[in-house]
A and B are shown apart, each in its own frame.
Chain A
C-alpha cells in the first residue's frame, strides 16, 4: 500500500532564503507526482506535476524533482517571499485512479 510522507511538518525561514521541501513514497511504481499549495481555509492549487518518465519540472521560482528509485521528490523554492507562506502537499498517483497525499509541510516565510 502506497504511503506518502512529508518532512518537515513545519518550516520557518527568513525572506530571501532558498529552501527544499521533501516528499517520500514507499512504492516506486507511481505514474506521476503532484505538488500542491494550500492557503488556510482554502482548496488546493496545483503547482507542478512530474510524470514518471520525467526527472524534474520547473515553474518560475519553483523546481520539483522526482527520483523513483529512491522514492523521493523535492520541491525547491528559490528566493522565498512572505507570499510563499502556505501548506505544501505532495501526492503520488499510483496504478489506481487515486492520489495518495502526504500530510503537508506548513511553510512560514518571515519578512
Chain B
C-alpha cells in the first residue's frame, strides 16, 4: 500500500535536546511538507521541499531544521532553540507543487516536553 509513514507516534524531548521526526513516503511524490498543529488550531507550515536536495522555510521555521537527501525521506529536527515544541507534527506529500494536486498526510507524531 502506498502512503506516508511517520515515526515515532509519540516522542518526548528533554531540555536542551534535539530530536528528529521521521517521514517516509512511497508514493513517488516530488514535494514534501512539514506542518505543526496546536490544540484547536489549524496547521501551520514549517518547511517544504519541492525536489531532492532543496527545501524552503515555511511560516514558522525558527527552531527547526530539515534535510531532503532522498526523494522518499524528509526528516524534521526540532532543535533546542525551539522553546515551545509541544505539538502534533504532520508530514505531507504531493505529486508535485502544482497547485491543482491534493496533499496527502501521514498519521502524525505527538511531541511533548519531559
List residues of chain A with CB under 8 Å of any chain B CB.
Answer: 4, 9, 31-32, 34, 36, 41-46, 49, 51, 89, 91, 93, 97-99, 101-104
**Quick check: A31 and B99 within 8 Å, CB to CB?**
yes
**Quick check: B102 and A49 within 8 Å, CB to CB?**
yes
**Quick check: B90 and A43 within 8 Å, CB to CB?**
yes
**Quick check: A98 and B105 within 8 Å, CB to CB?**
no
Question: Which residues of B lie under 8 Å from residue A97 when comparing CB positions?
Answer: 31, 48, 50, 56, 97, 99
Question: Which residues of B lie under 8 Å from residue A44 when comparing CB positions?
Answer: 43, 90, 92, 105
What are some 14 contacts across the A-B interface (CB < 8 A)? A4-B42, A31-B99, A32-B100, A43-B4, A43-B6, A43-B106, A44-B43, A46-B105, A51-B100, A93-B99, A98-B45, A98-B59, A103-B42, A104-B42
- Against A, the Cβ 8 Å flags (1 = close, 0 = not) of B83-97 are 000000010100001
Residue of B41, B99, B107 contacting most chain A CB atoms (<10 Å): B99
Q: How far is the CA of A89 from the CA of B42 in the complex (A)?
A: 7
Number of A-B contacts (CB under 8 A): 59
What are the 4 closest A-B residue pairs judged by CB atoms, nearest first? A101-B42, A31-B99, A43-B105, A44-B105
List residues of chain B with CB under 8 Å of any chain A CB.
Answer: 4, 6, 31, 40-45, 48, 50, 56, 58-59, 90, 92, 97, 99-100, 102-108, 110
Q: Point out the residue from A41, A49, A101 that lies within 8 Å of B43, measured CB to CB.
A: A101
**Quick check: B90 and A98 within 8 Å, CB to CB?**
no
Question: Which residues of B lie under 8 Å from residue A102 when comparing CB positions?
Answer: 42
Question: If A42-B108, A97-B50, A98-B58 touch, does A34 touch B42 (CB 8 Å cutoff)?
Answer: no
Question: Which residues of A lie under 8 Å from residue B4 when comparing CB positions?
Answer: 43
